[in-house]
Structure 1
Amino acid sequence: MVLRSCWKSRHKNSGGPAPCWIRPGLVAVLCLCVIQIGCGSGAVGETKNVVQKDAEFDVTYNDTVTSENQTIYAFNHTVSRNKTEGVRVSVLSQLSESPILFVVRQKQAVLSFQVPLILRGLYQRKYPYNHVARTLCQPPTRAASETQYFFVDVSTLSTQGTNYQLRVSRVESFTLQTNKKFTFTASPSQPQYFKYVFPDGVDTVIVKVNSDMNFPCSVMSIQDIQCPVYDLDNNVAFIGMYQTMTKKGAITVQRKDFPSNSFYVVVVVKTEDEACGGPLRFYPLRPDELIDAGNRSKVLDVMVSPAINSEVYVMGMLFCLGIFLSFYLLTLLVACLENKRMSKKRELFQNPADMSPAETGNPATSKTPASPYEYGSFADNGSTLSSEAITDSATSTDNNYGYMERSLDSVGRSRQESLSSVEEDDYDTLDDIDSDKNIVRTKKYLCVSDLARKDKRVLSKKYQIYFWNIATIAVFYALPVIQLVITYQTVVNVTGNQDICYYNFLCAHPLGALSAFNNILSNLGYVLLGLLFLLIVLKRDIVHNRALVRNSLNALECGIPKHFGLFYAMGTALMMEGLLSACYHVCPNYTNFQFDTSFMYMIAGLCMLKLYQKRHPDINASAYTAYACLAMVIFFSVLGVVFGKGNAAFWIVFSVIHILATLLLSIQLYYMGRWRLDSGILRRMVYIVYTDCIRQCSGPMYIDRMVLLVMGNIVNWSLAAYGLIERPNDFASYLLAIAICNLLLYFAFYIIMKLRSGERIQCLALVYILFTAVVWGFALYFFFQGLSTWQKTPAESREHNRDCILLSFFDDHDIWHFLSSIAMFGSFLVLLTMDDDLDTVQRDKIYVF
């Protein structure tokens, strides 16, 4: 009626249209709309025929429209409060330069579109569609049953007749059922959306949309029940949550985010495939050129399933805590058993009545004095704390064996003096140190005593700097990381753009503001096991210091020199790896992947330094040098992530630096620091090649070291060649692979040389090695499952998503977190205990390799 009154007011006099814009209120607004789409479509003063037809559902209307006529189709349908039916308007028309405008007027919404529908893609490329289908918004009704009317207005500015087909039908299965799959077809001009209502007792659901077709690229969106519904490629990202998809898409929806206890699932097919990693279409020659989009229909299915409840969350958290706290109980049990075993041995020494003098080894009653090496048998079945227990045991018998007792005068300084400030250069002030160290280090077979000549107080302080430096680095590194990932998570929650973060959406359980709480929780093992390792090292440190105070010969002159600074740094690095990995999994993507790998580089570097320090305590790198080198590694990691993808210049520069660094490190290891990097190094290298290889063809003096360095150079040169040829997209993982390969190579060399030197690995250390190797094997299996990858587009990454496999809460990557944290902890224990067999062997009998 309003439209008709506006039409009459416009033509009540022949002088021109009546100024209906002066009518107040809603009548004036609707009159202006009619003038724009109908009355104003012709020339001023031109008479236009308006025809209104009563129309029915599921009937196809073939008609023609020109600028001189306008057709209005009137529909009515019954809306029930307890039942929602979708209504879909489908229009087919021929392609023409003058489009037809369709306006659907409802009680609480207006929907308008033109045919052909022009959709824009990247670089404003235009794609026309002559077949358009849209689902009408269904506002809720308060009445139990209500008849609603809506009108479809058809108009155009074309003076020539344009044919069209109009069909309005009801949508079957407009309301989705829980755990029931529904299949449908969508295209860029024919989007689809469906309604879902939360059933009683269900607070969280997972909406899964799947397709057998990679392309065309599509978008799934979750929107609140409101009008209008944004269901076109150019507006689907305006509200709600959305993500691009090829074959898989999944979004976890919580009831608390939707006051109406219901939501729309919207599926839109994009006009182009670049967002999903598809090919880039050609650029049009003319700005106004239309591009044939071709057939971009896609068959999809949607299913809504209930997510896990609070009981599963509790079980997941208890399981995670239980696994790692059990390591604390196991460590406590082993310590108690070891203390009990050592107490029995102490009683045996204190009550030697049942033993012969030869068995006790007492110089007062035995003809043959006991050798210190006889005590090595007591360490055969040691534990994590065995070396300290052995030290205590040997110390407790010092009074019985006078040759093991040293006076304070022989030590030179008391324990209190060792706590004073001592610089490393204090030792180098001795006149003979500069001339003596080169002579000592050029011996063909070195012993640990040759490379443990510096004051233990100096070295202890030198290696403690590792711990304090990494603690400082951790604080300054972690704070901005935490701030950044909180910002990332906030952006995801506010914008609803789930393409920002690369989750495993099929197993991403939200908690509070966090989108994937399970991926964060599974990193708890790194922190707890890192703390446990620090406690074990602290126990060893305390026992060793007590032995030093008692001036035990074993602590002073036997075994590998015990410096715990690097062990403290390793435990701290493991804890920081857990924290930063958790930060990375708040919103995993390529820009913050370095958070997950930075301390992995540090752990690998510290382990190699610890292996080297065991036999070379005097010439190991200082903390400042080591962390500077690790900082360069992280710097290249950032450059590789930003510039390394397909950049030939970057890979050439990195490969050259990699090879040069390998050569310099090889020289450092071979000559044990007896070389200088200055302008004369090339001349000295040529001289050595001439004298050793050409003039007399003598073999290398240090065969074992040469074998290690040759193998190391082969491995590193091969990795450099692989990077230069393949140029992997994941540069950070490639850099980590270099570090791990070098660590494994050096560790294997250390074990082989230890066995070749006549040493042996104690039972407990061997158990640690075998256990750690098995756990690493399983951990790597789960790591390479690849549930997501930021090397690809978010839609392609979701193709790798899989359901949870453990307690319906943890996925494959969570299990990798569990196993890798246990494996790292075991690796640290191997480094801590692998030389316990030498605790009663004098250092001048322990070979350097």
Structure 2
Amino acid sequence: MLGPQGAPRLLLPPLLLLLLPGSEAAAGKKTVVQKEADFDKPYTDAVNGELLNIYAFNHTVTRNATEGVRVSVNVLSELKETPVLFVVRQKEAVVSFQVPLILRGLYQRKYLYQDVSRTLCQPQTKSEVEMQFFYVDVSTLSVSNASYQLQVTRVDNFVVLGWALRLPGAACGFLTSPSSPGQYFKYEFPEGVDSVIVKVTSAMAFPCSVISIQDILCPVYDLDNNVAFIGMYQTMTKKAAITVQKKDFPSHSFYVVVVVKTEDQACGGPLHYYPFSKDEPVDQGNRQKTLDVVVSPAVTSQAYVSGMLFCLGVFLSFYVLTVLIACWENWRHLPKTKLCWAEFILLHTHTPGVRVCVCAPGRPAGHACLCLVSHAAPSLSTDRSLENMAGRPRLDSLSSVEEDDYDTLADIDSDKNVIRTKQYLYVADLARKDKRVLRKKYQIYFWNIATIAVFYALPVIQLVITYQTVVNVTGNQDICYYNFLCAHPLGNLSAFNNILSNMGYILLGLLFLLIILQREINYNRALMRNDLQAVECGIPKHFGLFYAMGTALMMEGLLSACYHVCPNYTNFQFDTSFMYMIAGLCMLKLYQKRHPDINASAYSAYACLAIVIFFSVVGVVFGKGNTAFWIVFSVIHILSTLLLSTQLYYMGRWKLDSGIPRRILHVLYTDCIRQCSGPMYVDRMVLLVMGNVINWSLAAYGLIMRPNDFASYLLAIGICNLLLYFAFYIIMKLRSGERLKLIPLLCIVCTSVVWGFALYFFFQGLSTWQKTPAESREHNRDCILLDFFDDHDVWHFLSSIAMFGSFLVLLTLDDDLDCVQRDKIYVF
């Protein structure tokens, strides 16, 4: 009797001979029964150690059409020690599996499945039409009969071309489980489409599943233990998305493979308890999952061009706006200079009725001139008096500290103690050091942060390139926490849009540096011509901290871009380190404005910021749920707040030594017990009390609530302290009779509005590395801007603008004091 293609029905296939015991095969004790079989027809039969069944199927294969074939089996007998072996022999592939199917989980847990289904990989054909055969061999080593049921069916909608391309929103739904691991479909790229996004959704989070994109090759890796061997893959609970590019698949087609895992731990689910016996299988429960697959076109090259032009247009417009404002300021500069000189001359004129005129060079008197008349007592806006508010004394000389006001001692520390402990201080009291010394001191801020940036950025860039390479080579998309529904690849980068959106930090940081450079050039020119206004009026000009702030903003953009190359748990500090530095530098700059002589040195400032970054890393790695860590951190936080408060209150004129307990007791006794008296420095005390209340509250919140995102919690502490100090500065500025000019006022209003919108987009939370990759993808959302940028990209845009605006506020906040002598500018 002859089978298909003339093969004897009882002739045992050579491959099968290798699978059977050699002695039995050689002795001919095995009975082989080969049957013609049809699709969609169930076959119920039995096999034993002496009987082997072969089912022969044939189907027509055409070159331009792909047909999916699925083999489903169910063993009706309980045979754990002698399972039934199924071998599917095709033209170019062999698939074998046993039933009960044993799958291993974590810690070698065993899961048994009686119902198993596999989808066959269709061999390619060069002919227009070809009749192909495949065989299903069923065997077992059991002495008794093992009953089973076999059915081979064709898969409907195996080729998914046109699901979402021709019918937008249409989806393919199917049911899958670990025992039916071979759920995969073929997609063919249509003409004109270079990339697509495969979206898989499910109403249920568990069981955990894996979505894989594989090339059209046999065999297809569709089991839990081998799905990661080839292609791109990611775990999934309710949502998954993979962007696929045509250039990565030579056949211009690929398989979409869906596998349900035996356990849910990879998706953040619980683990089953250990069985009582080591070899006892774990009850797998009902591990079936219904999923919907949608394949839709990804963005075109025009979207990439539009996105880049949008970024350049938005941020280069700030350059144009800066040039226009600079021209306007130059146009207003001459009247402003005249007014300042007239006021400065009259400040030293005590004779009433004196008329002072300042004219433009080369013009006769009366043309383009500004004239002021002195009165019996100076009444200019620069002679602001707060005696009615605070009863502060007014000094008439240029320096508020004369030789008669303190004892002249050889020891300069004694000089400092006398000056800095006065009840009322003016900027001139804290601007006594040589300008060249201070300039070098504050320039160190810039050179230090530039050095830190180089040494920090180089290994960061190297590391993220390695991460991206690993993702591209292994195909494991669980390594990086992208918003996969809006992640547009370019070259080797998986999410180019998240990197591009950081351009604003770099461009606006560079613009801020150019603004500072222009201001410094103008100031140096004024000093070279011995301009008394530049020498003796206004807040002392030191630009080193401003340069450091601009550099920090540029580095924030660079390192944020590096972080978004592959955002994950191990490189989060790339994105936050320079945020801490920006917050710290802004506070230092705000303090430096009225305390230029006693501001912290660059070395101590960066050492403190390094400690903050150290705690950030330790908190993220060890702080989650660790009571001991939170107790230690809260104690350090409170002690640091107290020490800093003491330093600020006494203007640095105190020492941390063994005598401090005695001095504390002495102060408590003299000021609280013996005679109750109020604080000498009321303004400083108000600020420090408010600061301590806020910091103690934040420490208590952290100790009680123990937030999971420690990095953001630490950043919130810095931002709260910065906002508190900034609000205090503005309130005290207005209280002291000073005013806000138009430009800083507009910057404050606009920056506040932009910060509000930026924080809204920041808290959208499109992904989080505090959860598993599958759980993080549940937060993914579609693009919202130009079909190219997501919410987090908009946060990058707005936050870079808001930071730039905040820097401008610090730069221009005290421009109204440019004509005011320093011995009349209050320190607070």
Common fold, TM-score beyond 0.5? yes
Q: Deviations over 1:666-685 (max 9, x none)?
A: 11011110110111112211
Shift of 1:844: 1.1
Shift of 1:539: 0.7
Q: Verify: 1:621 aligned to 2:605, yes or no.
A: no
SS in 2 for 1:827: helix
Shift of 1:340: 2.0
- Cα distance in structure 1, aligned partners of 2:825 and 2:619: 43
Mapping 1:220-619, distance limit 5 Å: 220-343=211-334, 349-350=359-360, 351=363, 353-354=365-366, 360-361=371-372, 373=380, 431=410, 433-619=412-598
User: Which runs of 5 or more residues in structure 2 are unaligned?
Assistant: 165-169, 339-357, 385-395, 399-407
- Cα distance in structure 2, aligned partners of 1:516 and 1:204: 14
Q: Deviations over 1:586-628 (max 9, x none)?
A: 0000110100000000000000000110111111000000001
Of the structure 1 ranges 117-126 and 440-449, higher mean CA displacement relative to structure 2 is found in 440-449
Equivalent residue number for residue 188 of structure 1: 178
Could you say if the C-alpha distance between residues 85 and 620 of structure 1 is closer, same or farther in structure 2, counting changes exceeding 3 Å? same
Shift of 1:696: 1.2
Q: Deviations over 1:560-602 (max 9, x none)?
A: 1110000000000000000000000000001101000000000
Q: Is the 8 A contact 2:359 2:366 kept in 1?
A: no
Q: How many residues align?
A: 777
Equivalent residue letter for 1:206: I
Q: TM-score, normalised by structure 1?
A: 0.88
Shift of 1:177: 2.6
Q: Deviations over 1:639-684 (max 9, x none)?
A: 1122112222222211111111111101101111011011111221
SS in 1 for 2:228: coil
Mapping 1:19-30, distance limit 5 Å: none
Shift of 1:35: 2.6
Equivalent residue number for residue 400 of structure 1: none
Equivalent residue number for residue 381 of structure 1: none
Shift of 1:775: 0.3
Question: RMSD of the TM alignment (CA)?
Answer: 2.5
SS in 2 for 1:237: helix
Could you say if the C-alpha distance between residues 702 and 42 of structure 1 is closer, same or farther in structure 2, counting changes exceeding 3 Å? farther
SS in 1 for 2:88: strand
Q: Is the 8 A contact 1:352 1:360 kept in 2?
A: no
Q: Is the 8 A contact 2:17 2:25 kept in 1?
A: no
Q: Verify: 1:842 aligned to 2:824, yes or no.
A: no
SS in 1 for 2:491: coil
Equivalent residue number for residue 728 of structure 2: 749
Equivalent residue number for residue 93 of structure 1: 75
Equivalent residue letter for 2:202: S
- Cα distance in structure 1, aligned partners of 2:113 and 2:693: 60
Equivalent residue number for residue 352 of structure 2: none
Q: Is the 8 A contact 1:522 1:818 kept in 2?
A: yes
User: Match for 2:694 among 707, 715, 719?
Assistant: 715
Q: Deviations over 1:404-445 (max 9, x none)?
A: 99xxxxxxxxxxxxxxxxxxxxxxx98252212111112111
Could you say if the C-alpha distance between residues 251 and 430 of structure 1 is closer, same or farther in structure 2, counting changes exceeding 3 Å? farther
Equivalent residue letter for 2:140: T
Q: Deviations over 1:512-550 (max 9, x none)?
A: 000000000000000000000001011111111111111
SS in 2 for 1:287: coil
Could you say if the C-alpha distance between residues 190 and 430 of structure 1 is closer, same or farther in structure 2, counting changes exceeding 3 Å? farther
Q: Is the 8 A contact 2:101 2:179 kept in 1?
A: yes
- Cα distance in structure 2, aligned partners of 1:352 and 1:718: 65
- Cα distance in structure 1, aligned partners of 2:228 and 2:760: 38
Equivalent residue number for residue 682 of structure 1: 661
Equivalent residue letter for 1:721: A
Q: Is the 8 A contact 2:443 2:545 kept in 1?
A: yes
Shift of 1:784: 0.3
Equivalent residue letter for 2:418: I
Equivalent residue number for residue 161 of structure 1: 145
Shift of 1:375: 8.2
Q: Is the 8 A contact 1:404 1:553 kept in 2?
A: no
Q: Percent identity?
A: 75
Q: Verify: 1:149 aligned to 2:149, yes or no.
A: no
- Cα distance in structure 2, aligned partners of 1:370 and 1:165: 111
Equivalent residue number for residue 402 of structure 2: none
Equivalent residue letter for 1:283: Y
SS in 1 for 2:593: helix
Q: Verify: 1:793 aligned to 2:772, yes or no.
A: yes
Shift of 1:373: 4.8
Q: Verify: 1:138 aligned to 2:129, yes or no.
A: no
Mapping 1:25-36, distance limit 5 Å: 31=14, 33-36=15-18
Could you say if the C-alpha distance between residues 522 and 292 of structure 1 is closer, same or farther in structure 2, counting changes exceeding 3 Å? same
Q: Deviations over 1:292-324 (max 9, x none)?
A: 101110000101111111111001000000000
Shift of 1:37: 3.2
Equivalent residue letter for 1:672: M
Equivalent residue number for residue 424 of structure 1: none
User: Match for 1:60 among 42, 48, 62?
Assistant: 42
Equivalent residue letter for 1:182: C
Equivalent residue letter for 2:235: T
Of the structure 1 ranges 681-690 and 739-748, higher mean CA displacement relative to structure 2 is found in 681-690
Q: Deviations over 1:56-79 (max 9, x none)?
A: 000011111111111000000001
Q: Is the 8 A contact 2:460 2:562 kept in 1?
A: yes
Of the structure 1 ranges 94-103 and 622-631, higher mean CA displacement relative to structure 2 is found in 94-103
Q: Is the 8 A contact 1:372 1:841 kept in 2?
A: no
- Cα distance in structure 1, aligned partners of 2:700 and 2:22: 71
Greater helix proportion: 1
- Cα distance in structure 1, aligned partners of 2:217 and 2:374: 100
- Cα distance in structure 2, aligned partners of 1:81 and 1:826: 63
Shift of 1:376: 10
SS in 2 for 1:799: helix
SS in 1 for 2:229: coil
Equivalent residue letter for 1:47: K
- Cα distance in structure 1, aligned partners of 2:73 and 2:29: 27
Shift of 1:160: 1.3
Shift of 1:368: 5.8
Q: Verify: 1:124 aligned to 2:134, yes or no.
A: no
Equivalent residue letter for 2:153: S
User: Which runs of 5 or more residues in structure 1 are unaligned?
Assistant: 11-29, 378-402, 406-428
Q: TM-score, normalised by structure 2?
A: 0.90
User: Match for 1:177 among 161, 174, 182?
Assistant: 161
Shift of 1:485: 0.3
